[in-house]
A and B are shown apart, each in its own frame.
Chain A
Amino acid sequence: MAELGGRAIRPAQAIGGSVGDYVALMKPRVMSLVIFTALVGMVVAPGHLHPVLALIALVSIAVGAGAAGVLNMWYDADIDALMQRTAGRPIPRGHVTPEEAAVFGIVLAAGSVTTLGLLVNWTAGALLALTIAFYVLIYTMWLKRRTPQNIVIGGAAGAFPPMIGWAAVTGTISIESLVLFAIIFMWTPPHFWALSLYRARDYQRAGVPMLPVIAGADETRKQILIYSVLLVPITLVPAAIHLGGTVYAVVSAVLGAAFLALALVVYRTREGRDADRAAKRLFTFSLFYLFALFATLLIERSLALWIG
């Protein structure tokens, strides 16, 4: 029984993490979104990058994003253990020690930045280093536990990948890649605040100053609406600067209207289960919304390149 008890407290620490635990540390779902937006940045960028170098760039960006995820889980293991959504992560469960995670993350970060810089170009490499540093140092270590604006600034880290993809092809930063950055940057706050509306208790327990915990649910609903109103016009800009074509103009206008409508429902529905349901619907739609906007840019540009 004593042995069983000991095993229950530190189930696998002596056994060591499985490969799957290390993959989970890299946040594969976030990685897939990063790969996708970086790919869009590469495809819509003017110029040509050899397919082999394009693949290397994508892998490096994905591994860099994974490194940021690992270092985030290393630093946040204490609060992850307190939240239902994150309690099953490898470090709180005792599958991987914090030291192992820290070393894993640092090796991945250094390796991905070096590979991207040496094999593709150093503008992209420097942007990847900036992204990892921003996510780990500014978001995770500094802002997340201190201010309800954590999501606003932290969203920048998630907004960099299409810029890195663009830089991998062109070697530069330009207004078009900044527009792609701005779309994800403005999208992040309403997306996460919609989630935090129905997960407020979790964040409260962990002491993370999410907006609903600090300023209340009604203020969060107002901020969601404000950011949504700011976001939708920005999503129309790619059509205006010929980054997207007619199809993109139509898709972004229609889905933008739907996004605003759902944000308005969240703003108006403040009580009971309906309020939670409205927030969940906006959260789910926001994922589809961003995916659809970038997929439209990708498909339109790919077809144009194909047809010539």
Chain B
Amino acid sequence: MADADEQERLRRRRMRSIAIGLALAVLVILFYAATIVRLGGNVLNRPL
């Protein structure tokens, strides 16, 4: 029984880690997309 518990604990921890990873990836994509949308073509309009 203890082994089964340990396996279940590891499985849940792995799933939580994957969920956190996905959430962080989504956050990165959102910030990147918002930056592109807000700056748009103005990125090119800067003194070089």
Binding site for B on A (CB under 8 A): 3, 7, 14-19, 22, 50, 52-53, 56, 59, 111, 115, 119
- Determine chain B's interface SS by DSSP, over half rule: helix
Q: A22-B16, A52-B34, A53-B34 are in contact. Are A16 and B9 (CB under 8 A)?
A: yes
Size of B's binding interface in residues, CB under 8 A: 17
Inter-chain residue pair count (beta carbon < 8 A):
43
Q: Which residues 1-48 in B have Cβ within 8 Å of A in the complex?
A: 1-2, 5, 8-9, 12-13, 15-16, 19, 27, 30-31, 33-34, 37-38
Question: What are the 8 closest A-B residue pairs judged by CB atoms, nearest first?
Answer: A119-B34, A15-B9, A19-B19, A52-B37, A19-B15, A50-B37, A16-B12, A52-B33
Contact A16 B31 (CB under 8 A): no
User: Would B16 and A115 count as touching, CB distance under 8 A?
Assistant: no
Chain A contact residues, majority secondary structure: helix
Chain B residues engaging chain A, CB cutoff 8 angstroms: 1-2, 5, 8-9, 12-13, 15-16, 19, 27, 30-31, 33-34, 37-38
Q: Besides the contacts A115-B27, A119-B34, what 16 more A-B pairs have beta carbons closer than 8 Å?
A: A3-B1, A3-B2, A7-B1, A15-B5, A15-B8, A16-B13, A18-B16, A19-B12, A19-B15, A52-B37, A53-B34, A56-B30, A56-B33, A56-B34, A111-B27, A115-B30
